[in-house]
Amino acid sequence: MSAKGLTPKQRRFVDEYLVDLNATQAAIRAGYSRKNADVAGPRLLGNVGIADAVAKAKEARAERTEITQDRVVKELARLAFSDISHYTVDDLGRVKVNDDAPEDAMAAVASVKRRVSYDEDGEEAGVTTELKLWDKPSMLKLAGRHVGLFPDRVEVTGKDGKDLIPSDEDALRELLAVTAKPAAKPKGG
């Protein structure tokens, strides 16, 4: 083991995991068996030393890139709570941010399309401006997930809150017996 307590292969797994946060693919790229990578990757992440190395590497990357959770959530909120009423289009078709808008309101603008139309003499006849904000429903969903409004996992139970799939062997045998009964033979056939 190296000074940090990980083998070179484990250290490579940590580095590869940070590429796309996919444990299976990281295990393959680190040299673990492709055949068992779907088991090896999650197992490696369960190793305390590897989990600690991943956490420290993520923290170091956040410092280097200045991408923090707070910064991401702040940007997400900016997009999720943007409001078209924060903008005005002047007579020349230019987009202006209103005085009552947040100071960073322009970050919520996905695109501005300005079209000038001309009459038959070639004179400017009018300006049309299309202002598009980033996809608000997607941003609200992500922000809602951050605060636990939309859980990633939904638990489903059967009647009276019991498990849908029996957990003990006897109940499983009973279920299999019911579903495995042969169909009745038609009379006279």
Q: Please indicate, yes or no, if residue 152 is contained in any of the structural domains.
A: no
Q: Taking the CA atoms of the chain, what radius of gyration do you get in angstroms?
A: 29
The tokens for 140 are 């609200």
Contacts 24+ apart (CB under 8 A), 58-65: 58/18, 61/18
Spatial neighbors of 95 by CB under 8 A, at least 6 apart, are: 87, 88, 89, 109, 112, 129, 131
Q: Which residues span the domain enclosing 15?
A: 8-65
Spatial neighbors of 110 by CB under 8 A, at least 6 apart, are: 132, 133, 134, 135
CATH number of the domain where residue 27 is located: 1.10.10.1400
Token pair 């033979």 is at which residue?
Answer: 185
pTM (global) more than 0.85: no
| Count of the separate structural domains present in the chain | 2
Residues 89 and 121 in one domain: yes
| 57-96 pLDDT per residue, tens | 998 988 888 888 888 888 988 998 899 999 999 988 999 9
User: Which three-class secondary structure state does DSSP give residue 68?
Assistant: coil
Residues 94 and 58 in one domain: no
| 18-61 pLDDT per residue, tens | 998 999 999 999 999 999 999 999 999 999 999 999 999 998 98
Residues 120 and 81 in one domain: yes
Cα–Cα distance measured from residue 123 to residue 127, given in angstroms and rounded to the nearest whole number: 12
Q: Please indicate, yes or no, if residue 106 is contained in any of the structural domains.
A: yes
